[in-house]
Amino acid sequence: MLENPSDPATLHDLVKRVRKVETAETSTNDRDLATLREEKKNPQRKDGTVLPLDTLVTPHEVKEVGPWRKFLDEYGEELRIAGYSRNTLVPYTGDVRRLVDWLLRRGCTAPMAITPELCMSFQRAVYYHVTARGTPNPLNSQRRMLTSARSFTQFLKRRGYALVDPGLAIVMPRTGKSLPRDILTESEVMRILSTPDIGTLRGYRDRTILEVLYATGMRSGEVLKIDISDVNLESGTIMIREGKGRKDRFVPLGDVAAEFVAGYMKNVRPRLVRNPAETALFPGSNGRKVKQAGQLLVDLRRILRKAGIKKNVVLHTFRHTCATHMLRGGANIRHIQVLLGHESLKTTEQYTRVEIGDLQRAHDEFHPRKSL
């Protein structure tokens, strides 16, 4: 209730708040003239179409950040000084650029102008965002975008650019406990591994990468960063430098993968690199270190088509498959945690949840109502 309904200042404030709510609740198909006029000032795509207010552009589509340039530069510098890896910096700063673009289209040009209501509206925009493929915004993407937004508003408050942190109004969505999807069977793994033609340089390289992925459960980004000095064939191990969380660890190769790596380093890699000073264990087609996992994914999809694998397999699938197969073989979950480089055992425990096949076998054996 209003303390003094006759007070003009109080009434004026109430009208402003009501108008804000009405504007936020106006549907896309029923915009008022004021909103349409405002949209004419919005950035346009390359095809000339005007972006609706709640549209979230991709980081690459953000061309101008205007008065936010200073804050974005300082924010990126703070993350670098804090020791965040490039794999964290790129998505975080990209998400913040999307936030800034979204704010600019609402006329918000300074940190002091960011309100809790704006932050809640941004969360709605993130929730209703549709990907380039026309699918709903995945929950993990929502959490990352909102985490980036909260990190940025905390930075603005910490640096004194804002009196309060409006990002506190953002409520992080709850995540479910989803199982790793499309785990490969052992026969499917063998079909994939035996598909590359190891009589060719490219085929031998592809087979060696797949053997390493399956043997070690490495992340795709970790495979790309392996240098020849990280490989110890005598002990049959590879040192992973600055994995997730910038943590180093050693992983065993196993006899088969170690044999492929040895043959690759002796007979194949010297013919792939163009610069003798190149240190990458697995250089790309240009003979230099591969920066993005996309190139490896293209090669993997070609192999999957040839092997006739219909599952949705990506490079990370080999990580899940490695852990699942080791657990089924009787490996201690603590050892799997160390192998995968998980900081928390809870992350590794996702592999301990029984699959439906295991559950059906147990049900058949022990449930009294299985048979008539």
The residues annotated as belonging to the active site are 219, 244, 316, 319, 342, 351
Alpha-carbon distance of 341 to 322, in angstroms, equals 13
Alpha-carbon distance of 357 to 349, in angstroms, equals 18
Burial (0-12, 13-18, 19+ Cβ within 10 Å), 101: buried
Residue with tokens 């499309």: 182
> What one-character DSSP code corresponds to residue 136?
B
289 strand-pairing partners: 283
With vertex at residue 148, the alpha carbon angle to CA 143 and CA 152, rounded to the nearest 5 degrees, is: 145
With vertex at residue 340, the alpha carbon angle to CA 137 and CA 251, rounded to the nearest 5 degrees, is: 145
Give the Cβ contact number of residue 309 at 10 Å.
20
Q: Name the residue among 228, 209, 227, 215 with its Cα closest to residue 296.
A: 209
With vertex at residue 305, the alpha carbon angle to CA 302 and CA 306, rounded to the nearest 5 degrees, is: 90
Looking at residue 316, its amino acid is H
Asked whether the beta carbons of 177 and 350 are under 8 A apart, the reply is yes
Alpha-carbon distance of 183 to 141, in angstroms, equals 22
Contacts of 60 (CB under 8 A, 6+ apart): none
Residue with tokens 């033609």: 197
Pull the structure tokens for residue 96: 């913040």
Asked whether the beta carbons of 211 and 223 are under 8 A apart, the reply is no
Q: Where are the alpha helices (DSSP H) in the chain?
A: 8-25, 33-39, 69-81, 86-104, 116-128, 139-158, 186-193, 201-216, 220-224, 255-263, 269-272, 294-307, 315-328, 333-340, 345-348, 356-366
Please provide the distance, in angstroms rounded to a whole number, between the alpha carbons at the two ends of the chain. Answer: 67
